[in-house]
Amino acid sequence: MIETEKHINTPLVSMVVPSYNHAAYIEECILSIVNQTYKNIELIVIDDGSTDNSRAILERLQKQYGFILEFQENQGVAKTMNRAIGIARGKYISGSASDDFLALDKIEKQVKFLEENPDCDLLFGKIYMVDKNSQLIEGLTIFESFPEPVKYITFNDLIESNCIPAASIMMRRAAWEKCGGYDENVIIEDFDLWLKIAYRGKVAYLNDYFAYYRWHGENASTYAFKIYTATWELVQSWKGRMAPDVSRKVLARRDSITFCILARKYKKESLKYLKLNHSYWDLFMLKNYMKGLLKLLFCRRNDHTIWK
């Protein structure tokens, strides 16, 4: 049920879904939103120029559930998200990629936390990994989790290692507005926004599972080089706003991470990040460089398990 009655004592949450060529998954995504335990929701779906059967599925679902649905020529995720949030009226903003889906109590739990913690600008948690058939994938993780029930993540924590799964977040609309929305000129528009919010305000981690991230083979192998080099460039762009000791540590660690990730498949490109003359060194970097060198020398280029 999407805002079919008045909920006097509950804030409106705007759920935004940028849809693109996920006809096989979009219905599961939409149903995970309309069936939330929290009911004061407006759902905004913008199809970003899909060429598959997504439009017909969305039109059928829109007739059934009455959410806002728009279609546009392909503009990319950042522009689509900005357009959707520009339409939104909610105090809180959350969303989902069109191939992911949400835990049914995600919004209820996150609204409760944000209402009780008005100083928190962005909240996130853990995600499950699922395959193309929505079955849990045991042992596969991308984002770091924390043992504490609640943990506040600082800007320094975040710029050193992006620990925020986009599928798990909820943010205050006011925080999005203060940061000027998503930057439409960067590839990793979500990490860029998280950094801006953390730099100005507070980001919290809640030790719970909020979403299901779909792993269907294309997530890593197709975009890994662009994502990791764009991440490195984004971190570099913050250099002047970091304390010198933090900057040395972050940039050194990022070089080691990027080298380790790219060394398996992008061997020539990875050498740009193989820098052994950093003024900052720690065991974390040593492990990354050792793992990267092993990948560089002994792993086949067509082995796509680049996250390990």
Give dist(CA 191, CA 187) in Å, integer: 9
Mean pLDDT of the chain: 92
| Span 127-138, pLDDT tens digits | 999 999 999 998
| Span 108-126, pLDDT tens digits | 999 999 999 999 999 999 9
Residue 145's pLDDT band (cuts 50, 70, 90): confident
Question: 5 vs 153, which has greater pLDDT?
Answer: 153
Q: Calculate mean pLDDT across residues 185-205.
A: 96
Secondary structure in 3-state letters for the chain: CCCCCCCCCCCCEEEEEEECCCCCCHHHHHHHHHCCCCCCEEEEEEEECCCCCHHHHHHHHHHHHCCEEEEECCCCHHHHHHHHHHHCCCCEEEECCCCCEECCCHHHHHHHHHHHCCCCCEEEEEEEEECCCCCECCCCCCCCCCCCCEEEECHHHHHHCCCCCHHHCEEEHHHHHHCCCCCCCCCCHHHHHHHHHHHHCCEEEEEEEEEEEECCCHHHHCCHHHHHHHHHHHHHHCHHHCCHHHHHHHHHHHHHHHHHHHCCCCHHHHHHHCCCCCCCCCHHHHHHHHHHHHHHHHCCCCCCCCCC
Question: Which pLDDT score is estimated for 161?
Answer: 86
Question: Which pLDDT score is estimated for 308?
Answer: 43
Which domains, from first to last, does the chain contain? 13-216 (3.90.550.10), 219-298 (no CATH)
Q: Calculate mean pLDDT across residues 199-211.
A: 97
| Span 241-284, pLDDT tens digits | 999 999 999 999 999 999 999 998 899 999 999 999 999 999 99
Give dist(CA 18, CA 76) in Å, integer: 9
pLDDT > 50? residue 33: yes
Question: Which pLDDT score is estimated for 142?
Answer: 79
Question: Which pLDDT score is estimated for 3?
Answer: 47
* Cα-based distances in Å from 20 to 6, 24, 85, 157, 230: 32, 11, 17, 32, 22
Residue 300's pLDDT band (cuts 50, 70, 90): confident
pLDDT > 70? residue 92: yes
Question: Which pLDDT score is estimated for 302?
Answer: 62
- The closest of 254, 111, 116, 283 to 195, measured between CA atoms, is 254
pLDDT > 90? residue 140: no
Residue 232's pLDDT band (cuts 50, 70, 90): very high
How many residues make up the chain in this entry? 308
Residue 214's pLDDT band (cuts 50, 70, 90): very high
Residue 192's pLDDT band (cuts 50, 70, 90): very high
Question: 303 vs 54, which has greater pLDDT?
Answer: 54
Are 308 and 220 in contact by the 8 Å Cβ rule? The answer is no
Residue 141's pLDDT band (cuts 50, 70, 90): confident
